């Protein structure tokens, strides 16, 4: 469906309770537009209950003259303290530094004008924020393309500063419609290895695969499985590193159980669980969030990680998924099995003016400093090395780092 922009009426919803009254329409719009799970009402509601405290919520809606909802963009406002100053940053609500969004719940023809309206109202009319960040913005994202069209070098829009810089990459599998076609894209060596390892696991360990849409208790079991793997090598694991994530995903599993959007793709052998892939699926897009595999010494000689990846891809193809988003960062082994690296942009809009530009560049400097000094040097290396010498409890990632990822 394409809706002419001049026939659309915009309005703002402030706060969670009025937005909840739009959930049914919002859900139908997500199904129509193929929106990513991060912008569906089920994900949003659970995320907001777990992480929405001390954040303001503003949601722009677009309706056709018939009253039909044709666009919905929720924004949250974070406050980041820089010494004596507070910078207010608007972002797509319920997203985090690992949430790469391809598609939003907006029909064709409405996204560019909606983003323009959001910038005008949030940054100029209401001054609700000092800047809007869409980071991380994939080059396959409809949002990136629309904002570049609105605010790029050829744009005549003179009221805003547009910051657009490639900031690393993320990994994407573009899937064919048949699994055998996917296998044909791999090298002969990789295909043979996969089939040989699969036969071996089926013969020696009675390998079974099982897709589960978990309840809370089943997801708690996956959390234990994942943490055990990482803690044995001195790391905390995702659910230890990201404060509140264990409770959030367990709640999400209960909330979305009937929709089948939360996937645990299990490999189970005669000795118990071998490997599990945790995915989030909405429409034809799958976001592969986390793997886990057994630390049983008997499995150490087996290619559980590779087999788990390929069997997950097989399941996704059979379910009609045509794209798997496989995480921010560069991973050679994923590329060996058919993934491509897609650039990710740091994408920010701010009003023109000395004060606003000072906020922007001070915030970018702070983000760089805390990323290098804390996340890379201390969290990524120093705390792990020190933990091998002293019995230190590994702590969760600082929230100040999470909120500085603009």
Residue pair 313/186 in contact (Cβ under 8 Å)? The answer is no
Residues 6+ apart with CB under 8 A from 137: 101, 143, 144, 147, 344, 345, 346, 347
Q: How many CA atoms lie within 13 A of 43 on its CB side?
A: 22
Residues 6+ apart with CB under 8 A from 202: none
pLDDT at residue 178 is higher than 60 = yes
Please, where are the H alpha helices in 257-405? Answer: 304-318, 332-336, 354-370, 383-387, 399-403
Residue 203: per-residue pLDDT: 92
Q: Average pLDDT, stretch 211-218?
A: 95
For the chain, domains (ranges, CATH) are 5-169+344-403 (3.40.630.30), 176-321 (3.40.630.30)
Residue 251: per-residue pLDDT: 96
User: Over the stretch 352-370, which tens digit does the pLDDT of each residue have?
Assistant: 988 888 889 999 999 999 9
pLDDT at residue 74 is higher than 60 = yes
User: Over the stretch 335-353, which tens digit does the pLDDT of each residue have?
Assistant: 999 999 999 999 999 999 8
Least confident among 224-233, 263-272, 321-330 = 224-233
The helix (run of H) or strand (run of E) holding residue 327 is strand 323-328
Least confident among 39-48, 84-93, 145-154, 164-173 = 145-154
User: Over the stretch 287-308, which tens digit does the pLDDT of each residue have?
Assistant: 999 999 998 888 877 788 899 9
Least confident among 5-9, 100-104, 151-155, 345-349 = 151-155
**Which residue, 47, 57, 51, is CA-closest to 17?**
57
Q: Please tell me the distance from the alpha carbon of residue 66 to that of residue 81, in angstroms, as a whole number.
A: 44
Least confident among 170-174, 216-220, 397-401 = 397-401
**Which residue, 373, 350, 374, is CA-closest to 362?**
350
Residue 181: per-residue pLDDT: 97
The reply to whether omega before 136 is within 30° of 0 (cis) is yes
pLDDT at residue 101 is higher than 70 = yes
Give 212's pLDDT tier (boundaries 50, 70, 90): very high
Q: Please tell me the distance from the alpha carbon of residue 170 to that of residue 323, in angstroms, as a whole number.
A: 13
Measured CA to CA in angstroms, residue 199 lies from 46, 193, 310, 316 at distances of 41, 10, 14, 21
Q: Average pLDDT, stretch 208-216?
A: 95
Spell out a b/e string for 2-23, using b for 16 or more CB atoms within 10 Å of the CB, else e: ebebeebeeebbeebeebeebe
Mean pLDDT in the chain?
A: 91
Q: Average pLDDT, stretch 56-62?
A: 97
First CA to last CA distance, the chain: 32
With left for phi above 0 and alpha for psi between -120 and 50, is residue 104 left, alpha or beta?
beta
Beta bridge partners of 93: none
Tokens of 161: 């500063």
Give 283's pLDDT tier (boundaries 50, 70, 90): confident
Q: Please tell me the distance from the alpha carbon of residue 311 to that of residue 173, in angstroms, as a whole number.
A: 14
Residue 44: per-residue pLDDT: 97
pLDDT at residue 5 is higher than 60 = no
Q: Please tell me the distance from the alpha carbon of residue 277 to that of residue 116, in angstroms, as a whole number.
A: 38
The torsion angles phi and psi of 22, rounded to 5 degrees, stand at -100, 5
Q: Average pLDDT, stretch 76-93?
A: 92
Helix, strand, coil tally for the chain in percent (to 5): 45, 30, 30
Q: What's the gap between Cα 17 and its chain centre?
A: 25
């Amino acid at each position: 469906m394409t809706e002419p922009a001049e026939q659309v009426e915009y309005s703002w919803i402030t706060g969670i309770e009025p937005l909840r009254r739009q959930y049914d329409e919002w859900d139908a719009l997500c199904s129509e537009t193929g929106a990513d799970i991060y912008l569906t009402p089920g994900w949003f509601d659970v995320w907001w209950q777990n992480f929405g405290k001390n954040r303001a919520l503003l949601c722009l809606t677009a309706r056709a003259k018939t009253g039909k909802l044709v666009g919905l963009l929720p924004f949250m406002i974070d406050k980041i303290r820089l010494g004596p100053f507070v910078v207010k940053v608007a972002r797509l609500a319920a997203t985090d530094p690992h949430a790469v969004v391809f598609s939003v719940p907006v029909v064709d023809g409405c996204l560019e004008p909606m983003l323009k309206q959001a910038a005008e109202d949030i940054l100029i009319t209401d001054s609700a924020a000092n800047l809007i960040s869409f980071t991380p913005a994939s080059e396959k994202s409809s949002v990136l393309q629309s904002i570049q069209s609105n605010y790029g070098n050829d744009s005549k829009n003179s009221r805003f500063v547009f910051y657009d810089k490639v900031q690393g990459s993320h990994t994407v599998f573009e899937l064919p419609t048949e699994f055998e076609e996917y296998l044909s894209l791999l090298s002969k060596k990789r295909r043979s290895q996969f089939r040989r390892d699969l036969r071996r696991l089926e013969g020696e360990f009675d390998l079974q695969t099982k897709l589960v849409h978990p309840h809370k208790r089943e997801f708690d079991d996956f959390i234990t499985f994942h943490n055990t793997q990482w803690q044995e090598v001195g790391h905390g694991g995702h659910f230890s590193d990201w404060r509140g994530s264990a409770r959030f995903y367990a709640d999400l599993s209960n909330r979305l159980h009937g929709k089948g959007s939360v996937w645990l793709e299990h490999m189970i052998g005669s000795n118990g669980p071998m490997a599990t892939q945790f995915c989030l699926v909405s429409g034809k897009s799958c976001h592969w969030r986390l793997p886990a595999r057994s630390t049983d010494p008997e499995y150490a000689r087996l290619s559980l990680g590779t087999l788990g990846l390929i069997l997950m891809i097989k399941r996704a193809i059979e379910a009609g998924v045509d794209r798997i988003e496989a995480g921010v960062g560069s991973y050679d082994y994923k590329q060996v099995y058919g993934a491509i690296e897609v650039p990710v942009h740091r994408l920010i809009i701010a009003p023109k003016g000395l004060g606003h530009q000072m906020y922007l560049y001070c915030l970018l400097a702070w983000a760089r400093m805390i990323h290098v000094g804390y996340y890379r040097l201390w969290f990524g290396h120093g705390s792990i090395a020190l933990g091998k010498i002293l019995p230190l409890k590994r702590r969760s990632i600082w929230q100040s780092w999470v909120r500085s990822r603009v």
